[in-house]
A and B are shown apart, each in its own frame.
Chain A
Amino acid sequence: MHESAMLSLKDVTKTFTMHLRGGVDLPVFADVSFDVAMGECAVLAGPSGIGKSSILKMIYANYRTEGGAIFVRDNLDGAESVVEIAKASPRHIIGIRHRTIGYISQFLRVIPRVSALDVVAEAATAQGRPVEMAQADAGELLTRLNVPEKLWDLPPATFSGGEQQRVNIARGFIADYPILLLDEPTASLDTANAGVVADLIEVKKAAGVAMLGIFHDADIRERVADRLIDVSEFSAVTKSETAA
């Protein structure tokens, strides 16, 4: 793994085996290799269905990695190490998700009976930020994302889809992760709020966070991407078509 890289993929391959359909293999991509450096926002590009989201999920260990290796630079109380995600124990992964890798999607997993402000603040208190400070930070983020203050004390279960999404984005950005995975965080946001997300990404970039994202909105992508990684180059589908 290169010295400046926070995240490194080497010959990563993904195939889903569908046992309910007679064990048919669905190859998604093969031999994906790239690095993401500190303070860089790399964006995965390519048509839908090509496996962009699967790459993010594999880095987060939400999906398994069958071939190749994913390396992540971890830092536990000042002790640096390089962790190979697919070989790490579940317990190790839980620790890495707690301190090193954040994952922001457009979907909020609603926790019943917890207020919007606490849903956001919890992500910071879990990393050790004092409660008052975390709540103040949460309020600031919710304000920037135009979530009206009268909603803060309510659980987001009853919010509109857009409001839930913005609560989730606030939750994702409040914590201090050195690596952030952004799975279409701006999908279905209006231009003003998408612009706020782009601002937040720039703040993280300036703080040295390594980011890997998917953005379908061309304007946002243009604004935040330092580099595009074309996933269709690695696609199993494209490859077999080329071979044929």
Chain B
Amino acid sequence: MDDQPLLSVTGVSKFYGGQIGCNDVSFDLYPGEVLAIVGESGSGKTTLLNCISTRLEPTAGTVEYAMRDGRMSDLYQMGEAERRFLMRTDWGFVHQNPADGLRMGVSAGANVGERLMAIGQRHYGNIRSEAADWMERVEIAVGRIDDRPSQFSGGMRQRLQIARNLVTAPRLVFMDEPTGGLDVSVQARLLDLVRGLVADLGLSIIVVTHDLAVARLLSHRMMVMKSGHVIESGLTDQVLDDPREPYTQLLVSSILQV
């Protein structure tokens, strides 16, 4: 068991004037762990995700990350260049809307290859073959490599976005409602793909979702947010099968049974 956390979040708060975005959130994430942040719209889960992933500077608190050499580094103390390098190489961010995470006007292959070029790869043949490899892993026919994502279905775009993020072998991937807006069968395929990648690559993931079924299928641990506060956290199956807080009991009892 790896005893050093990959990410250590301490007392993170974000206030918008007098409004609470998220308040005093602390947790550690270890290598290979999948953490789900659940709650209704407006509960602060996306604000928290953005604060952790350096997309939104928190009002208070620290976010520390284990660099590849093992030292813990405060994300908001490091230089802009170092932070951007981290985001491009060691991290991924999967948006709910693939159009926010892809360049719709360039080919699928270029979308995946671009991240490799950003870390200094220059050999066209290598980049193309690695992009093709990744398209295969996310189950997109390699024959589509020169097509633009605008010609892809929603599920394919989402899988392409995942390939684009994973091609640099990141250790931590943030996901914001990755299955939102997809048909149920397309969702199942995507979740299955992500589960396989977590198992094969030992990825750590922080996934924001309002869908408790997604949280159950993907995550080891979960945090339930309400009005900017984490009101309950623990093992995913424990929180879902024996919820303690009134709000969590309400959420769990609101799941539609099929």
| B-binding residues in A (CB < 8 A) | 16-20, 23, 57, 61-64, 76, 90-91, 93-95, 111-113
Nearest opposing residue in chain A for B242, CB measure: A63
Beta-carbon contact of A62 and B241 below 8 Å: yes
CB distance from B255 to the nearest CB of A (A): 13
Residues in A neighbouring B242, C-beta threshold 8 A: 16, 57, 62-64
A64 touches B238 (CB 8 A): yes
The tally of residues in B whose CB lies under 8 Å from a CB in A reads 21
Contacts A20-B249, A90-B220; is A63 near B1 (CB within 8 Å)? no
B244 A64 Cβ-Cβ under 8 A: yes
> CB within 8 A of A62: which of B189, B237, B250, B253?
B237
**Is the Cβ of A61 less than 8 Å from the Cβ of B1?**
no
Closest to A93 in B: B235
A-B pairs with beta carbons under 8 A, tally: 47
Q: Is B24 interfacial (CB-CB < 8 Å)?
A: no
Is residue B234 contacting chain A, with contact meaning CB distance below 8 A?
yes
Interchain Cβ contacts under 8 Å between A and B, 16 examples = A17-B244, A61-B235, A62-B237, A62-B238, A62-B241, A62-B242, A63-B238, A64-B242, A90-B220, A90-B234, A91-B1, A91-B33, A111-B195, A112-B188, A112-B189, A113-B192
B residues with CB within 8 A of A = 1, 30, 33, 188-189, 192, 195, 220-221, 234-235, 237-238, 241-242, 244-246, 249-250, 253
CB contact under 8 A between A112 and B237, given known A19-B249, A90-B220: no
| Max chain A C-beta neighbours (<10 A), residue from B234, B237, B244, B253 | B237
Q: Which residue of B lies closest to A114 (CB)?
A: B192
Distance in Å: Cβ of B182 to nearest Cβ of chain A:
15
Residues of A within 8 A of B250 (CB): 19-20
- The answer to whether B1 touches A76 (Cβ under 8 A) is yes
Chain A interface main SS type: mixed
A112 / chain B contacts, CB cutoff of 8 Å: 188-189, 192
Report how far A93 CA is from B236 CA in the complex, Å.
Answer: 11
Residue of A nearest to B222 (CB): A90
- B contact residues around A95 at 8 Å (CB): 1
- Complex Cα distance, B241 from A57, in Å, reads 10
- Residue pair B33, A20 in contact (C-beta under 8 Å): no
Smallest CB-CB separation from B248: which chain A residue?
A19
- For residue B188, which residues in chain A have a CB less than 8 angstroms away from its CB? 112
Q: What is the bound-complex CA distance between A62 and B216, given in angstroms?
A: 13
Residue of A whose beta carbon sits closest to that of B253: A20
Q: Which residue of A lies closest to B235 (CB)?
A: A90
| Additional 5 contacts, C-beta under 8 A, given A64-B242, A95-B1, A112-B189 | A62-B237, A64-B238, A90-B221, A90-B235, A93-B235
- Which 5 pairs from chain A and chain B are nearest by CB? A19-B246, A63-B242, A90-B235, A90-B221, A19-B249
Q: How far is the CA of A113 from the CA of B249 in the complex (A)?
A: 31
Asked if B30 and A61 sit within 8 Å, CB to CB, the answer is no
The answer for the CA separation of A19 and B247 in the assembled complex, in Å, is: 8
A3 vs B108: C-alpha distance when bound (angstroms): 62
CB distance from B34 to the nearest CB of A (A): 11
Contact of B30 among A20, A62, A76, A91 (CB under 8 A): A91
Contact B238 A94 (CB under 8 A): no
A19-B249, A76-B1, A94-B220 as given contacts; A63 in contact with B241, CB under 8 Å:
yes
